[in-house]
Amino acid sequence: MSEKRSLWEYANPRKFMGLSGTLLPWVAISGGALLLIGLIWGFFFTPDDYRQGSTVKIIYLHVPSALMAINAWFMMLVASLIWLIRRHHVSALAARAAAPVGVAMTVIALVTGAIWGQPMWGTWWVWDPRLTSFLILFLFYLGYIALWSAIENDDTAADLTSVLAIVGSVFAVLSRYAVNFWNQGLHQGASLSMDKEENVADIFYYPLLVAIAAFILIFVALVLLRTRTEIRARQLRAYMARERMQ
Amino acid sequence: MMVDLGDYAVPVISAYISSIVILTVLIWASLSRSAKVKRELEEFESKRKSNG
């Protein structure tokens, strides 16, 4: 009789280390290669937009990073819920590992957005619903990281940061849908939509998809790498605690 | 292979440079912490083994 395999077996740190060690180089190389292809395609081989001129080339950085800033928080939310319900340490550590990657994605989105906004809107920043909710999401990321660092006991830190991840998900949703909720502000609607009519033109769309795939793979690679580091760091802390008690 | 960015050369190039710098710092920080923790764990484990 064949043994039935379950996803939960990768909650075992040893199994997770084995699988992630195999996957990591492939994911990282694919992400790096796709990023090169997407950015070179977008920068060198796409035309200027008739309204936005060459600033449209910022889309290949701004949209993927903004997408990942929001989705990183959702990944942290799912991992936190798994921790709260099933108490798997790997999921709590994966949530912790994703936070700095999410911060970097949020900063890229905010910086490229400000750089893009200046020539288009005539201002670096405006208290527009989407921009404001994105800034709050950024502050939630910082708070999440600070909370993990402030609490010595790993399980208590995982519990409290999981609650913060649940609360912060409201702002992650807002940063995605704020434009639809409030018909005010300068930020345009979504660049990508299930409705093909609302999408950006095909000539920008395909390199944008490549850049998004690249950012997703880079995110996954970094979270795998950082989760492996967190697992090792936790093991090291456990050894040290045991040694202090002897 | 030159691209004419017109009046928007500065914003476009600065957006690319700032994003690449942020990504590079993130990757470098992740790799260096990974190497440091791995080394510390290996040193600790070999010390424990040698102490019996």
Residue A4's pLDDT is 62
pLDDT category of residue A1 using cuts at 50, 70 and 90: very low
Residue with tokens 């008739």: A50
Q: How many whole angstroms separate alpha carbon A199 and alpha carbon A204?
A: 10
- Over 90: is that where the pLDDT of A8 sits? no
Residue A186's pLDDT is 61
- Over 70: is that where the pLDDT of B52 sits? no
Q: How many whole angstroms separate alpha carbon A11 and alpha carbon A87?
A: 10
Closest CA to A141 of A117, A107, A118: A107
Burial class (CB in 10 A: 0-12, 13-18, 19+), A149: exposed
Residue A79 falls inside a structural domain:
yes
> What is the predicted ipTM?
0.92
Residue A17 falls inside a structural domain:
no
Interface of A with B in 168-227 (CB under 8 A): 218, 222, 225-226
Query: How does pLDDT run across A178-231, given as a tens digit for each residue?
Result: 666 666 666 666 666 555 666 678 889 999 999 999 999 999 999 999 999 999
Residue A201 falls inside a structural domain:
yes
The count of structural domains within chain A is 1
Measure B12 CA to nearest chain A CA, in Å. Answer: 6
Residue A191 falls inside a structural domain:
yes
User: Could you tell me if residue A122 is left (phi over 0), alpha (psi between -120 and 50 degrees) or otherwise beta?
Assistant: left
CB-based burial, A190-211: b 16+ in 10 Å, e otherwise: bbeeeeeeeebeeebeebbebb
Residue A172's pLDDT is 81
Query: Is the CB of A119 inside 8 Å of chain B's CB atoms?
Result: yes
pLDDT category of residue B26 using cuts at 50, 70 and 90: very high
The mean-pLDDT minimum among A25-29, A110-114, A161-165, A241-245 falls in: A241-245
Residue A14 falls inside a structural domain:
no
Mean model confidence pLDDT for chain A? 89
Query: Is the CB of A101 inside 8 Å of chain B's CB atoms?
Result: yes
Residue A9 falls inside a structural domain:
no
Query: How does pLDDT run across A32-56, given as a tens digit for each residue?
Result: 999 999 999 999 999 988 888 999 9
Residue of B nearest to A227 (CA): B34
Residue A1 falls inside a structural domain:
no
Question: Domain with A161 in it: what CATH number?
Answer: 1.20.120
Q: Which residues contact A108 (CB under 8 A, 6 or more apart)?
A: A61, A62, A65, A69, B18, B19, B22, B23
Residue of B nearest to A233 (CA): B37
Q: Which residues of B touch A237 (CB under 8 A)?
A: none
- Over 70: is that where the pLDDT of A69 sits? yes
Q: Which residues contact A228 (CB under 8 A, 6 or more apart)?
A: A17, A20, A21, A24, B34
Domain that holds residue A221: 23-245
Residue A4 falls inside a structural domain:
no
Residue A34's pLDDT is 98
A189: phi then psi, degrees, rounded to nearest 5: -70, -175
